[in-house]
Amino acid sequence: MNTYFLLFFAIILEVCGTMLLPASQNFTKIVPTIVLMTAYAFSFYLLAIVSQKLPLSIVYASWSGIGIFSIAILSYFFYKQTLNWQTIVGLFLIVLGVTIVNIYKTN
């Protein structure tokens, strides 16, 4: 299976888990809590697999950077959180940084 596909799936699971944190209401709501913990567990499992095949710096930069970007954008739509222009510029710089790191990676 493609390593980058596993990394992408790990990012999706991490984003899903993080987006469920407010819904869990400090882990008092059982269903969102179970789903978010399961998503985090599988995300870390996939992250461990990917880290055996790609440099950890690349894996973690991609996982955290794309995760931060995704969570900020999704929070805007689902939780009506505001994004000022400075935040938007910063998010795009994160994406640019992750892109540069992946383009110039060494194996």
79-104 pLDDT, tens digit per residue, is 999 999 999 999 999 999 988 988 88
- Answer for the pair 47, 31: CB distance below 8 angstroms, yes or no: no
Q: What is the spatial distance between Cα 47 and Cα 30, in angstroms, rounded to a whole number?
A: 25
- Tell me the one-letter amino acid at 80: K
Q: What is the pLDDT of residue 1?
A: 65
Q: What is the pLDDT of residue 46?
A: 97
Q: What is the pLDDT of residue 107?
A: 59
Show Cβ contacts of residue 65 under 8 Å, excluding neighbours closer than 6 positions. 94, 95, 97, 98
What is the helix (H) or strand (E) element at residue 81, kind and residue range?
none
Neighbouring C-alpha atoms within 13 Å toward the C-beta of 105: 17
Q: What is the pLDDT of residue 104?
A: 83
- Answer for the pair 11, 74: CB distance below 8 angstroms, yes or no: no
Tell me the average confidence (pLDDT) per consecutive run of 10 residues in the chain, 107 residues long: 92 97 96 98 97 91 92 95 94 91 77
- Answer for the pair 50, 59: CB distance below 8 angstroms, yes or no: yes
Residue extents of the structural domains in the chain? 3-103
